[in-house]
């Protein structure tokens, strides 16, 4: 079974998930579909106009410390971004120009590294252009396509799908109808996709 990886480029916990998912999925022979969406649109539905990590100080304080610990345990580079959350709209649209292209995983990881390793503004076209080039995409063409009506509609459709599938946070992993939320659920989601873990039927 394949796994859908739903994430937002501004989401802190999506970063370790993005950096880990390819190796872990290949080991278990699970195809992964990368599905960026606009988490802010979902937050708005819940009445939040900002990240809950900014709205609730203790939640935010905890998350920033936890990210130091999680990235240290995974031996991932980490620098707290000077702006949070960053706007991942352009990066998400870039993926939507060619959702199944070979360069997509490398591009997504490059964007996460720009945001959380180098504290770069991922809303800036020059940053996205560099991430595209470094992952083997035609940066000029992709950036031009991000402005097309079809690309914009694809991203809207993707965010609608996230809502329909009851996704409420990022990262989320969807395997069939089974939803898993949070970086530390990645292994369980992959085990379920591989058929090595099963769960009781739904009530």
Residues that bind a second copy (CB under 8 A): 46, 56, 58-59, 61-62, 64-66, 68-69, 72-73, 80, 166-168, 179, 181, 184, 188, 197, 199-200, 202-203
For a second copy, the closer CB: 102 or 166: 166
**How far does CA 21 lie from the centroid of its chain?**
11
Min dist CB 20 to a second copy, Å, is: 16
Question: 126: how many CB neighbours lie within 10 A of its CB?
Answer: 11
Indicate the residue among 103 and 180 with the shorter CB distance to a second copy: 180
Please, are residues 33 and 203 in contact by the beta-carbon 8 Å criterion? no
CB of 172 to a second copy, least distance (A): 9
Least distance from a second copy to the Cβ atom of residue 81, Å: 13
Number of Cα atoms under 13 Å in the Cβ half of residue 89: 9
Q: Give min distance, CB of 144 to a second copy, in A.
A: 36
User: Which is nearer to a second copy, 150 or 202 (by Cβ)?
Assistant: 202
Our CA dihedral for 76, 82, 84, 87, rounded to 10 degrees, sits at -90
- Which one, 104 or 167, has the nearer CB to a second copy? 167
Sign, CA dihedral 187-192-196-201, equals positive
């Amino acid at each position: 079974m394949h796994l859908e990886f739903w994430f937002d480029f501004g989401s802190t916990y999506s970063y370790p998930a993005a950096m880990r998912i390819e190796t872990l999925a290949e080991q278990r022979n699970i195809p992964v579909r990368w599905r960026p969406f606009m988490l802010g649109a979902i937050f708005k539905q819940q009445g939040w106009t900002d990240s809950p990590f900014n709205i609730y100080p203790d939640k935010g304080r905890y998350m920033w410390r936890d990210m130091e610990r999680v990235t240290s345990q995974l031996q991932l580079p980490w620098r707290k971004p000077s702006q949070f959350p960053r706007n991942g709209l352009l990066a998400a649209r870039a993926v939507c120009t060619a959702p199944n292209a070979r360069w997509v995983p490398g591009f997504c990881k490059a964007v996460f590294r720009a945001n959380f390793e180098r504290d770069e503004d991922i809303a800036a076209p020059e940053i996205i252009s560099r991430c595209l080039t470094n992952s083997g995409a035609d940066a000029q063409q992709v950036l031009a396509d991000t402005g097309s009506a079809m690309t914009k509609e694809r991203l809207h459709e993707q965010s609608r799908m996230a809502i329909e599938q009851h996704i409420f946070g990022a990262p989320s992993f969807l395997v069939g109808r089974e939803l898993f939320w949070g970086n530390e659920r990645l292994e369980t989601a992959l085990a379920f996709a591989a058929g090595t873990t099963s769960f009781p039927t739904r009530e």
